[in-house]
Structure 1
Amino acid sequence: MVSSASPSPAERYSAAKLRSEYQSLSAFQETYPFELDEFQMDACQAVEKGHGVLVCAPTGAGKTVVGEFAVHLAQEYEGKCFYTTPIKALSNQKYHDLVAAYGTEKVGLLTGDTVINPDASVVVMTTEVLRNMIYASSPALKNLRYVVMDEVHYLADRFRGPVWEEIIIHLPQSVAVISLSATVSNAEEFGDWLKSVRGSTEVVVSEERPVPLWQHMMVGNVLFDVFDHHGNLNPDLRQKAKRKLEQGERYRGRGKKRRSFADRAQIVANLDREALLPAIYFIFSRVGCDAAVEECVHSDLKLTTPEERSQIMALAEERTAHIESDDLQAVGYWRWMDGLARGVAAHHAGLLPVFKETVEELFLRGLIKVVFATETLALGINMPARTVVLERLVKYDGESHVMLTPGQYTQLTGRAGRRGIDVEGHAVTIWSEEVHPRDVAGLASKRTYPLNSSFAPSYNMAVNLIGTAGRKRAAEVLSSSFAQFQTDAAAVHISEQARRAEAKADAVVADLECDRGDFLSYYELSQELAKAEKQAQKRNRGLRRDEAIHTLNNLRPGDIIWMSSGKRAGWAVFIDRGLGRSGSEPRPLLLTASGWAGKVAGASLQSGVEKHGWMKLPKRFNHRDPRQRRDLTASLREQTKYLDTPKRRRRTRSQEDPEVDRLREQLRSHPCHGCPQTASHTSIAARWFLLNKDAKVSRERLQKRSSSLDRQFQAVCAVLEEFDYLSGDAVTDSGQLLRRIFCESDLLVARCLEEGVWEGLQPAELAAVASAVIYESRFEEDEWLVAIPSGRIADVMEVTQRRWDAIHGCEKRNNVALTSKPQMGLVWPMYRWARGEPLAQALKAADGPYPMPGGDFVRWARRTIDLLHQVGDAAKAIDTSGSRDLANKAFAAVDLVRRGVVADL
């Protein structure tokens, strides 16, 4: 409650002193309708004093106010301020915010393929754009006084994070860096690094949420608080969850299968009844988000009034008016509109950007009541809600399904509670048999969110560092990175770990005495034997695999085979050999009797493959056609109906290993062999062995960490020298070309440009080829036959592939892996789109078992545009007739791809 009493004399004096000492801040504060929080005041005061600042505060706390104050100071001092963000959507959002405050003449936007008023005094940009400007010594850096790095915790991102560190290291010391971060547990460590490379930097940390957050769990249709009044796990919740679990076990005990799923429409209705909308409902699956909207629509859930529906329809139609009706049809426009009208929507990377932006605006206006979203929504987009719902606490991290970390949980639930609207926010986790209340309590009670560097040298980084300051200075830059800073700090801890393990090992071995001899040597010999036996078994498995591969290499289309194990075990018909490049093992295309069709790795068939007959295949069989697949499956089943199922396959006889025999004989002849106290001695020796191993591992970790960045840098330089991009401490002419290419496959692109591989392509063909070096399929490409256009595109892709082979071989020799293999799944869609075909036709041509989502295509198309810009600029610099033509074709390709749903409006 705000007191109505007049300020005391002391308070009036303090306010007057503050106004006189921080005149700019006082003027800035008057532009806001609310008083700044203490952390905002502390940070802004540091900026006005001329310091850099690191601000760490929860989502929604108002960190951007500090960045906006830097913009204010730049205007006041007639200097420049660059406002950087990690993603284009945030840049667009911040650009519009600043335009509203300062007008279009004073604000610019740079996001790679979008250039608006680049000479303005305030320019919003993605971090990659600023990094490129620094390396190019752009004139735009003149009179730059402030750089705001919004969402600076992005430097932990393993793909794009290094860009942040490059900028922080290379910016002139005259520039004040204002770093805005989510709450991290090692803010002081990051702040210390900033001080070491930027000079005077203040660290301002606030862990106080502007709106209190209540933790809940929904069990059935009942909402429980996670914690009781004493901060302990709510006993009522614990009992209810226990009864639900027991009920499920009894259900299964009667021989029935219990399907565990969330009734999302009912959950939303429950939230509406409890006055907990609007809500963001996190589902870690695009398909799940779309399915949730469909469930709400089919349940006839309506969360909007007639007036709200009219406003929703009007805005959605306005935002999509520039898109052709056929393209809208191809991306599910009417299904999307049906959900919007009811107040529900999905938000994920598979949606068209204009769809996502419309959902964001409608949600901010309070017209959309529930958004079903993937975790990408947690990354900075301004969409606060009254409630955040988590359907599961497990997500797929790209390799496996893993439990959310406390930091991820905090990031996701941080959007709950709208400042100035809600008096409290709510985080709701949906109960299921795999989600225990104590798991929620554990995540909600911890605030561990460490910021770890992902900095590592790349080819482009190396030639730019060396080209700018020489090889010695480049090594110094690496040593000043946050990655090395953290390594040096960790080295002390690792060294202490090794010392403690060695001391414990010495203490353990003192208790080991065997009157027959040296039992430690006996134990080590037994471990050596176990290792040799394991290696022998592995070699024998390799022999069986080789036998299977030999069988596969001698099959012909139509051969019926039996696979004795694995997830594809059973009868199958051999369709195509699927041989890769020279030296690679086959990945045959098979159709199984269960109806599955796809490629199988030879390595997965080590348990055996046997041929048992032959059948005729239809001409031009397409395994991706459901009808053809169904017909051939029926024929295969008919052919194998009367064949005997092999019970045991003939195996290659395991070869005896002389080393195993030698070690066995040594063990038998050791003096300690047969000791009556072998069991107790072995227990002590095993303990010593583990402690000794721990100490050795710690020492090795220490050595590797201490020189890991330098080793990587030297390996990168070795690859560059082999391809003549570096010559000692100098960047060659070829290396100067590489300096202009900023993508994960920078070296491959530079090689293709330098050798004229892409010259002669028409614009649409060039767009298709360029897409292959940046595309990353969501599916395992080897499982599908990825078709590409024949003719010139196929020829150029074959040569591009050979260039990658050479780079890959060189990288293997130097123990680095930076260049991804070109992927063909976007070639057909990009070619068809660049030729002017409808979006629906382009999406159907994509790789994988399903058409490509429209949002994915737009995202990859825009990345292709970005690369085509780089290709055009780099080709112009080569300045031959062929390269000049390539440059013209690259810029023409940009115009072909940037149309319809891909265009920025």
Structure 2
Amino acid sequence: MTRLDDFTDRLTFRLDDFQRRACVALEGGHGVLVCAPTGAGKTIVGEFAVHLALAGGTKCFYTTPIKALSNQKYADLVAVHGAESVGLLTGDISINADAPVVVMTTEVVRNMIYARSRALQGLSHVVMDEVHFLADRFRGAVWEEVILHLEPSVRVVSLSATVSNAEEFGDWIQTVRGDTAVIVDEHRPVPLTQHMLVGGRMFDLFDPTTVVPAPGAERAGRSATAPGAERAGRSATAPGAERAGRSQVNPELKRYIRHRMLTIDDRDDRSSGRGRRGPATRGGRRGGGIRPPSRPDLVARLDREGLLPAIGFIFSRAGCDGALAQCLRSGLNLLTPEESMEVDAVVDRHVAELSPTDEDILGVGEWRAGLRRGFAAHHAGLLPTFRHAVEALFTRGLVKMVFATETLALGINMPARTVVLERLVKYNGEAHVDLTPGEYTQLTGRAGRRGIDVEGHAVVVWTPETVPEQVAGLAGARTFPLRSSFQPEYNMAVNLIGRLGLDGSRELLNRSFAQFQADRSVVGQAHRVEESRRRLRKLDVELTGAAANRGLEPGVVIDDVDEPGIEDPGDGDPHSGFLGYVQLREDIRRRERDLKFERRAANAQSTVADLAALKRGHVIGLQGGRHRGLAVVLEAATQSLDPKPLVLSEDAWCGRVGTRDFVNPPEVLGNMRLPKHVDRRTGRGRRDLASALRSTGIEAPRGRSKKRAPAADDRELARLRSALRAHPAHRLGNDDELFRLAERRNRVLREIVSAERVIAEKTSTLGVQFERIVGVLAELGYLDVGTDRSGAGRASVTKAGHLLSRIYSESDLLVTECIRAGVWDELAPNELAAVVAAMVFEARRESYSGADAMPGSVALRGALARTIEIWREVTATESRHHVDSTREPDTGFSVAVSLWASGRSLTESLAAAGERGQLLSPGDFVRWNRQVIDLLEQVRLGAGADTRLAGSARSAVSGIRRGVVAAELG
């Protein structure tokens, strides 16, 4: 019997074809990359790797991107293999770390590799769950580091969601890891039907007559429809609706939306006496009469049609909490009394370690009330134990409706029958952006429970901004490329150089997936360059003949291209011959453009300075935009980088003006006496001010001020124009065929130069960034850089560099500099926790408060002030080497963690953890405490066992690890 047979004998289901193929490859000694849709059962391949390691007496690491997923997988494996065989390491949790199977976050295994941990001995398999996470711009590099650094004997099991460039990713893994089987499966085991809810009606999104079944989709055994759903002419679920990219939008859906919108417009027009209005505009009122159902109505509708349990994705924590509150106010109840009693038992287990006071502060009563009626919210702001309870209840069918942020879509095992999307726009931390096809697929992938549902359902709630074709594009797209986010950082650089030396580090960077993708794209660019060169040679032949027919030499243009194509028979003058004449014209255009740019830049700089210098009462002239004429300054600009003084114009308009409002720098035309308190908020006040401005007698400038253009005095431009007029080709008309040929040639030349520039940038980006980081580290004493006897570059890690190699933080260099400078040595444990919190905390809003605003002891304020000074010194060094600046310390959580570490109550600590008057959520409070513990442990290890700093770090960890934080740390 094979080990796969032994493994499958324990299962209660048969393996799918892709699962079996992956397991066979794994048992055959190959690494595997498995790409399959969410819910397809990829993790069974990872579990088989665990089985192989245990059967062979070796070790297996099971890595995940987030701690919640690690905790869940740990529980799953313990249930199968027993607690003695499985361990858990997530930075702040260590359970049975020497077990043959250890579940951990990906950062932990990366750190083990760099530390040359003995735990790596006997390692035969590493499972990298959610490996597509390497595209994450903040943490993605860790996955590549692990793949590149693991010993060749280790079999890597990479599990990924469906990506369109799986073969490319597989080719890279085969290149760096050797023999790897790439197994791609696009079939969803539970088919997904797409719907759109318009007002009170539910429609299938796609036209049933055009839906193309997915390959291998099973047609038998599926129910015809979801109970009670209005199918708008469709009587059965088309198999393989998940392949909807080749289908058309349901015409009945489009007709219904158009009819309702026109009916509303006609009704409005009749009531107002107006004619029919124009087409709808994004964000306008059109469609306002088709109101989306309220959250309680939506849930009730799903319940009636048998579409619960469901997950409603709402892209904000406040939105999730608000939706839950709406349902609770409605009186809707989804559970029986018996089910509510089961909920109580589960909740009691999860809050057993909380004190009555903590329960009151954390709102356990309100949270329990929602669960007892089948509702819950799920987001990072909740206390983790609350989220775990919701997950457990949802899995048992005791929570019917969850309002969640998108974090739930990442790996957590909470499949539902239905997924609801209220909006297709989310905030990404910088701006509101549309969902990508990959994000849409990840979210809707939660719909359809394997072995329970015959089909899953994705419901998009229609709003006036939602276009059915847009939803169809998201649902049908199959382009989810995986893009590397790998780039060198300080900690990575010293660890790489310490292990591999300078040349070895460069070689490893060249083997990264980022460089692999860059090299592949360069191949395409190089092909385009070669095609352009062939076109250039052909054009040169045509030009030679055409020029000769007109009695002209073709000439040659000196450019950046290796093969200009025509050799100049003359003296090498770049402006000889016809092409020389064309080059003269290009040179003149370029010089005129440069002079115009210089003039604009000078004007802009002068405008900024003049706007910043304006004072209250100055009268200026407005030159552009909707407002012209006189304006008086009511408030000076508040900052100098982008000054925008507040002005009132003579037509009574009041607003701020900036550089874009001026063609030329503003000129002070006079002064106007203003009362101490100006009434600019009422129409009458503005009109009175405008009247007073007009009566000052100051005249606005007529038209734009005439300034002599720099081109008129430019000697180089004059020389080029003179040479152009004297050239033999100047006699030709501008419509001559020669000029058309020359323009085509210049266009091809520009394409070649542009493509070669792209090639140079893509092939050198990683290397340039690495060399800049090495420069920073060498200047600050972390690396000893020089040359060997042969003249080749070399670098070795100094004592300070070894300290940096043990600090894994976004602010790793700053933390290490502070340890080296000893600025934290004299701090008490709670004060050290406060300073370390400033290294990790990042407010969700702009709420930074500096060291001078930080309450606490003189020692703490002094340490924070010195930390800020060191940060400024570090960023100055980074600026000199053109490296992105280290993030500024943020003390927004420092008071809270200081109070908590010194033994103060949860009430006091939470009250001190506010952002702009809003309390920090309990979930965030625990999460930030976890991160502070992580960094404190690194500081303890880096400072040395017998130092005072290490003792303070140890005590600080003990002070933080209590109450709700201790409950979450296990």
TM-score by length of 2: 0.79
Work out the CA distance in 1 between the residues paired with 2:816 and 2:837. 15
5+ residue gaps, structure 1: 1-18, 579-583, 593-599, 617-631
In structure 2, the residue matched to 1:306 is 337
Match of 1:658 among 710, 716, 719: 710
Cα distance in 2 for residues equivalent to 1:243 and 1:360: 42
- Contact 1:59–1:182 (CA under 8 A) maintained in structure 2: yes
SS in 2 for 1:861: helix
CA-CA distance at 1:751 after TM superposition: 0.4
* Higher mean C-alpha displacement, 494-503 vs 313-322: 494-503
Correspondence 1:819 to 2:798 = no
Assess, with a 3 A threshold, how the Cα gap between structure 1 residues 506 and 331 changes in structure 2: closer, same or farther. farther
1:62 deviation in Å? Answer: 1.1
Q: Which amino acid aligns with 1:96?
A: A
Question: Greater shift after overlay, 794-803 or 261-270?
Answer: 261-270
The structural deviation recorded for 1:715 is 1.0
Show the counterpart of 1:153. Answer: 132
Matches within 5 A, 1:569-608: none
Give the partner amino acid of 1:213.
L
C-alpha displacement at 1:673, in angstroms? 10
Corresponding residue of 1:725: 782
Secondary structure at 2:103 match in 1: strand
Compared CA separation, residues 418 and 683, structure 1 to 2 (3 A): farther
Report Cα offsets for 1:562-597 as digits up to 9, x if no partner: 99999xx9998799x89xxxxx9699999x9xxxxx
Is the 8 Å Cα contact of residues 715 and 816 (structure 1) preserved in structure 2? yes
User: Cα distance 1:502–1:749, how it changes in 2: closer, same or farther (>3 A)?
Assistant: same
Deviation at 1:147, TM superposition (A): 1.0
Residue matched to 1:899:
962
**Which shows bigger deviation, 652-661 or 383-392?**
652-661
Q: Please tell me whether residue 789 in structure 1 is matched to residue 847 in structure 2.
A: no
**CA offsets 1:112-141 (integer angstroms, 9 cap, x no match):** 011111111111111111111111111111
1:51 and 1:176 in contact (8 A); partners too: yes
Give the Å deviation of 1:856.
Answer: 2.2
Q: Secondary structure at the match of 2:147?
A: helix
Alignment of 1:529-548 (within 5 A): 529-548=592-611
Q: Using the alignment, how far apart are the partners of 1:727 and 1:650 within structure 2? A: 65
Decide whether aligned partners of structure 1 residues 752 and 767 sit closer, same or farther in structure 2, where only a CA change above 3 A counts: same
Report the equivalent of 2:307: 276
Deviation at 1:170, TM superposition (A): 1.2
The residue number in structure 2 matching 1:494 is 525
Change (3 A) 1:64 1:588: same
Bigger mean CA deviation after superposition, 335-344 or 453-462: 335-344
Q: How does 1:501-580 map to 2 (within 5 A)?
A: 501=532, 518=581, 521-522=584-585, 525-526=588-589, 528-550=591-613
> Structure 2: which amino acid aligns with 1:239?
R
The alignment of Structure 1 onto Structure 2 pairs a total of residues equal to 844
Distance 1:424 1:104, change over 3 A: same
Per-residue deviation at 1:332? Answer: 4.3
Is 1:828 equivalent to 2:895 in the alignment?
A: yes
The 3-state SS of whatever aligns with 1:826 is helix
State the distance in 1 between where 2:491 and 2:681 align.
55
Equivalent residues of 1:343, 1:369 under 8 A apart: yes
Cα distance between partner residues in 2 of 1:39 and 1:92: 27
Matched, 1:748 2:728: no
Taking the aligned partners of 1:85 and 1:198, their CA distance within structure 2 comes to 20
Q: Distance in 2 between matches of 1:679 and 1:403?
A: 49
Q: 1: distance between equivalents of 2:481 and 2:859? A: 50
Assess if the C-alpha contact under 8 Å between 2:848 and 2:892 holds in 1: no
Q: Which consecutive unaligned segments of at least 5 residues does structure 2 have?
A: 212-246, 275-283, 553-577, 626-630, 649-655, 786-794
Q: 1:188 to 1:772 in 2, by over 3 A?
A: same
SS, match of residue 714 in structure 1: helix
Structure 1 residue 542, shift from structure 2 partner: 2.5
- 2:773 maps to which of 716, 730, 737: 716
CA separation in 2, counterparts of 1:754 and 1:427?
55
Does the CA contact (< 8 Å) of 1:562 and 1:572 recur in 2? no
- Aligned pairs for 1:233-244 (under 5 A) are 233=248, 234-244=250-260
Question: Residues 658, 420 of structure 1: CA spacing in aligned structure 2 closer, same or farther, 3 A cutoff?
Answer: same
- The alpha-carbon deviation at position 857 of structure 1 amounts to 2.6
Contact 1:470 1:730 in 2 (8 A): yes
SS at match of 1:734: helix
1:12 corresponds to: none
Instruction: Tell me the CA shift for residue 182 of structure 1.
Output: 1.0
1:472 corresponds in structure 2 to 503
- One-letter amino acid matched to 1:722: E
Deviates more, 1:358-367 or 1:311-320: 311-320
| Structure 1 partner of 2:197 | 218
* Residue range with higher mean Cα deviation, 233-242 or 710-719: 233-242
Q: How many Å separate the matches in 1 of 2:77 and 2:734?
A: 79
SS at match of 1:238: helix
Q: Which amino acid aligns with 1:238?
A: K
Cα distance in 2 between the residues matched to 1:24 and 1:92? 27
2:868 alignment partner in structure 1: 801
Separation (CA, whole Å) in 2 of partners of 1:611 and 1:177 = 76
CA separation in 2, counterparts of 1:778 and 1:302? 34
Corresponding residue for residue 171 of structure 1: 150
SS in 1 for 2:891: coil
The equivalences for 1:177-576 within 5 A come to: 177-227=156-206, 228-231=208-211, 232-233=247-248, 234-247=250-263, 262-263=292-293, 264-501=295-532, 518=581, 521-522=584-585, 525-526=588-589, 528-550=591-613
Give 1:506 deviation, angstroms: 7.5
AA at the equivalent of 1:460: N
What is the CA-CA distance between 1:74 and the residue it aligns to? 1.3
1:659-699 Cα offsets, whole Å, 9 max, x none, are 57538868987659999858999999887766544433321
- State percent identity of aligned pairs: 46
The whole-number CA distance in structure 1 between the counterparts of 2:263 and 2:748 is: 46
1:511-548 CA-partner distances (Å, limit 9, x unpaired): 99999984564356335534542443343232232234
Deviation by residue 1:258-287 (Cα, 9 ceiling, x = unmatched): 668643222222222221111111122222
> Which of 102, 117, 129 is 1:123 aligned to?
102
Contact 2:645 2:658 in 1 (8 A): no
Counterpart of 2:827, as a letter, is L
The Cα of 1:306 is off from its aligned counterpart by 1.9
Whether the 8 Å CA contact 1:216–1:223 is kept in 2: the answer is: yes
Letter of the structure 1 residue corresponding to residue 184 of structure 2:
V
Q: Which has the larger radius of gyration?
A: 2
Say which is worse superposed, 108-117 or 698-707, in terms of deviation. 698-707
- Which of 255-264 and 176-185 deviates more? 255-264
Task: Answer yes or no: is the 8 Å Cα contact 1:458–1:818 preserved in 2.
Answer: no
The answer for the alignment partner of 1:887 in structure 2 is 950
User: Is 1:94 paired with 2:157?
Assistant: no
Counterpart of 1:902 in structure 2: which amino acid?
A: V
SS in 2 for 1:159: coil
Give the direction of change, closer, same or farther, for the CA distance of 1:347–1:890 in structure 2 (3 Å limit).
same
In structure 2, what residue type is equivalent to 1:811?
A: E
Does the 8 Å contact 2:851/2:861 carry over to 1? no
Q: 1:550 to 1:634 in 2, by over 3 A?
A: closer
Counterpart-to-counterpart distance in 2, 1:892 and 1:560? 61
Aligned amino acid, residue 170 of structure 2? G
Q: Which moved more, 1:379-388 or 1:650-659?
A: 650-659
Look up the equivalent residue of 2:772 and give its one-letter code: A
| Larger displacement relative to structure 2 (800-809 or 241-250) | 241-250
Q: Distance in 2 between matches of 1:633 and 1:796?
A: 47
Q: Could you tell me how far apart the structure 2 residues matched to 1:560 and 1:354 are?
A: 61
Range with greater deviation from structure 2 (732-741 or 175-184): 175-184
> Using the alignment, how far apart are the partners of 2:366 and 2:635 within structure 1?
40
SS at match of 2:801: helix
Q: Which amino acid aligns with 1:546?
A: A
Deviations 1:15-61 (A, max 9, x none): xxxx4xxx111111111111111111111111111111111111111
